[in-house]
Structure 1
């Protein structure tokens, strides 16, 4: 095990020297690429690729440093977007680019002395092991040990043993801490800052939220379909059979007729409650007509004349469709009950991964969420999807409700 660690340290130290020398050339090469942007324009294509190469070079050394420390790191592979404008935006905004540029001087400053020390230790050990046995065959004065000429075979053996022991001590006790320090410095230079880690975490959560929203939408559709086609159909069949049984009873059935009547009424009440549950989960009209058709039906049937303005929405997850539908229906119900408005307007627009819903009326305003206006319920439903709700309702009106819902990616 000790020999394996020593071999790993030797490879890391010796490779560090040519790597550091190669890294010294990075900044001049990038400078040439930048000058070519000004002089000939070729750098518009070349410089982003040079920086991409630097990022991958730094990532290679980050993985090397993690291996020598026995740590595991998440692989990060830089990818250049397509299009010249997008590539230059990537240069300006990508945190990995800034980390790689900061890493260059730190790696050169630590890699060069580490490589030289490794070359001294392991190169010296190899040289001593070769020179001492061959000392009698070497020309007089051509070989020295510990910087001293060996006067005879005995002195060559003594000086060689001392030199080998000193170099082995350096390789065993001095070089490994230096290697660990240099590897930790490399990882630290390429580690994201707290702000960058937070941004990465937000990005991960956004992606996972998009997957959860899609899965939730599919589950809503499945449950709605199962309830509609399964439980609801069975309740209808039970109610019908109970009705037929009641008709077949003789007039003097008494308690049996009463029990059948109560069972039929209970089945019918259960059907009504089940329909309400289905509508609260995922209204069937959304499955039949889609969001645009469902909102058109809501607007045309609203008690207050309502204008509907729908932009191109694209694909919207089922959970977001249901939330937008309930936002509009609840808002129009509030308008009819509380605002005294003569007209209302509903607008839906899609921007990137956000669906914006706006409901406006010309009523009296003064919405008070503490008095059961329905806005609290809207806030809860929207908050469940990590959306936002803004209500602007001065006394005298108008009232404007703005909702933003994430649509995933």
Structure 2
């Protein structure tokens, strides 16, 4: 019972406050129109983003009230404006919340007004019964007070029972209708301000993309750290061990027999381990990337290509470490494929950045007919690119030429 009365009280307060705010929200539409029109005159360039920020605060206050009525929690939405008119307009056009704020204006007017008026009638019927029944005697005799359906009240004998009956009717209507109206209006408010399923999916994809970019950056940094540790630590120790074993072999007399053979095997095994370690380091994160950057690493690849290679680099800017490593391995693998399988006499490597995408194009003048099923390395390229959510397009008609086009997301 007490919980129900709490719902009635909260619902009444919510709807009776929502009634004047819905009337006030009707002024938002002409204000938005004035702001949009003034944009053409230049004044709105600074005014309109601030109007939308104010609307965000206004809608957010109603959103928190609606969530409190429904007993749910909602994540806060921020209404801060970045510095600079261009940044403010970019945020205004890109932020889907602004469209939902304008949609909420229409919904709040359409639901807040009727729900608030209905709550006002229910509460007014209840409060009016008490006030009117006790003050019936203030009305003139020729125009007596009327209760319920126009029944005139001319004495305490009619005022008390009619007032009690109207009070009971008002309490019943308020008890039954007000909480339902409040929940209906609150759900409408949240539905208008909450993103749709498509918007939620798009926002989730955006969050996952950002988190993946952070993971890739961290992964690249960790690979660089491991490469440095292996190169400067483990590899250096293996080199020292190999040198000592070599000195020990030279110091042994010629008739050492089994001991000389063991030292020889240990020496050769250490050198093989160093070779394998160098291969592992190169496949993890090429040291040349850390030393010379992507441009220098690609220049070294093309200079050392088995067939003449031309390198054409655009403005790349700062790239995530994982994207740099993938681009390096893609170019290295395609150059190797061209040298082994294409019969080409020349290869062209082009790399450029278009917004948030890195475009890699490797073209050779070979015989074409590249077949991924024959182990040409294209499968490995596709897997590496797929891990970064990129795309690979291979055009290799019989007779040539062969063009491998790769796009990698590189927004940091």
- Work out whether 1:184 is the aligned partner of 2:207: no
1-structure distance, mates of 2:267, 2:87: 66
2-structure distance, mates of 1:287, 1:32: 56
Q: Hey, what does 1:68 align to over in structure 2?
A: 69
- Distance apart, 1:115 and its partner CA: 1.0
- SS at 1:320's partner residue? helix
Provide structure 2 residue ranges, at least 5 long, that are not aligned to the other structure: none
- Distance apart, 1:220 and its partner CA: 0.9
Normalising to structure 2: TM-score of the pair?
Answer: 0.87
User: Structure 1 residues 79, 395: CA separation in 2 closer, same or farther (over 3 Å shift)?
Assistant: farther
- SS at 1:265's partner residue? helix
Q: Structure 2 residue aligned with 1:369, among 363, 369, 372?
A: 372
- Work out whether 1:284 is the aligned partner of 2:283: no
Is contact 1:361–1:398 with CA below 8 Å preserved after alignment? yes
2-structure distance, mates of 1:37, 1:225: 56
- Distance apart, 1:8 and its partner CA: 2.4
How many residue pairs get aligned? The number is: 406
1-structure distance, mates of 2:241, 2:38: 82
- Work out whether 1:353 is the aligned partner of 2:356: yes
Greater shift in the superposed pair: 248-257 or 280-289 = 248-257
Deviations 1:83-107 (A, max 9, x none): 6677667666653343333333332
1-structure distance, mates of 2:120, 2:209: 48
- Work out whether 1:324 is the aligned partner of 2:323: no
Q: Hey, what does 1:196 align to over in structure 2?
A: 199
Q: Hey, what does 1:27 align to over in structure 2?
A: 29
Deviations 1:342-362 (A, max 9, x none): 211111112222111111111
Deviations 1:56-103 (A, max 9, x none): 433432332222111223333356666667766766665334333333
- SS at 2:73's partner residue? coil
2-structure distance, mates of 1:160, 1:299: 97
Deviations 1:98-149 (A, max 9, x none): 33333333321211121122223344545555566x649x625586654655
Deviations 1:192-238 (A, max 9, x none): 33332332222222211211121111111111111112222222233
- SS at 1:355's partner residue? strand
Provide structure 1 residue ranges, at least 5 long, that are not aligned to the other structure: none
User: Structure 1 residues 122, 244: CA separation in 2 closer, same or farther (over 3 Å shift)?
Assistant: farther
Is contact 1:80–1:87 with CA below 8 Å preserved after alignment? yes
Is contact 1:361–1:400 with CA below 8 Å preserved after alignment? yes
- SS at 1:309's partner residue? strand
- SS at 1:76's partner residue? coil
- Distance apart, 1:285 and its partner CA: 0.7
Normalising to structure 1: TM-score of the pair?
Answer: 0.88
Q: Hey, what does 1:13 align to over in structure 2?
A: 15
Q: Hey, what does 1:300 align to over in structure 2?
A: 303
Q: Hey, what does 1:228 align to over in structure 2?
A: 231
User: Structure 1 residues 109, 242: CA separation in 2 closer, same or farther (over 3 Å shift)?
Assistant: same
